[in-house]
Amino acid sequence: MPNRPFVVKALVALNTVGFGWSIALLLSKLTYLDKFIVVCR
């Protein structure tokens, strides 16, 4: 199976991209919550 390493690399890349996106979304939500709390005060 010559394409097995390529598939593994693709899966790892997808997981890394997904992890980065989830972290970015979490950070944006946290900053949005911080601004919202400051505005409410």
Supply the DSSP string of 1-41, one letter for each residue. -TTHHHHHHHHHHHHHHHHHHHHHHHHHHHHHHHHHHHHH-
Q: What is the pLDDT of residue 2?
A: 62
- Rounded to whole angstroms, how far apart are CA atoms 31 and 16? 23
Residues 1-33 have pLDDT tens digits of 567 888 899 999 999 999 999 999 999 999 988
The model's pTM: 0.53
Band of the pLDDT at 37, cuts 50, 70, 90? confident
